[in-house]
């Protein structure tokens, strides 16, 4: 009888531990910015550039996305760029979309 009681107590502790870990994961996921989630956990992130700006270069520094733009020429059209991650195991692939507007 004593062993059964200990088993239930351990099982209850494991349940609380698992619930706590799930809660922490949810808080971390909600507390991240959109680009942090796309970079670290996979997912999609979309950015719309200011009007009449052309994308020149985009890069990451830590969890921040940086993009270089220039003025759009009259003859140019607005484009959409999609950057896709190809991760080692194919599990947490992220996609960042950058849209230009005329």
pLDDT in tens, 39-52: 656 677 889 999 99
pLDDT in tens, 17-28: 888 888 776 665
Count of domains forming the chain: 1
Residues in the chain: 102
Please give the model's pTM, rounded to 2 decimal places: 0.59
Asked if residue 55 has pLDDT above 90, the reply is: yes
Q: Are 94 and 38 in contact (CB under 8 A)?
A: yes
Cα 26 off chain centre by:
13
Domain hosting residue 89, numbered range: 2-99
User: Is 20 in a helix, a strand, or coil?
Assistant: helix
Contact residues for 50 (Cβ-Cβ < 8 A; gap 6+): 69
State both tokens at 82: 């999609």
């Amino acid at each position: 009888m004593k062993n059964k009681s200990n088993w239930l107590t351990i099982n209850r502790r494991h349940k609380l531990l698992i619930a706590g870990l799930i809660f922490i994961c949810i808080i971390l996921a909600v507390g991240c910015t959109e680009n942090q989630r796309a970079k670290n956990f996979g997912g999609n992130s979309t950015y719309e550039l200011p009007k009449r700006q052309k994308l020149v270069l985009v890069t990451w520094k830590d969890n921040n996305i940086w993009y270089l733009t220039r003025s759009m020429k009259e003859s140019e059209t607005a484009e959409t760029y999609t950057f896709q991650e190809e991760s080692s195991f194919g599990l947490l692939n992220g996609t960042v979309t950058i849209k230009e507007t005329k």
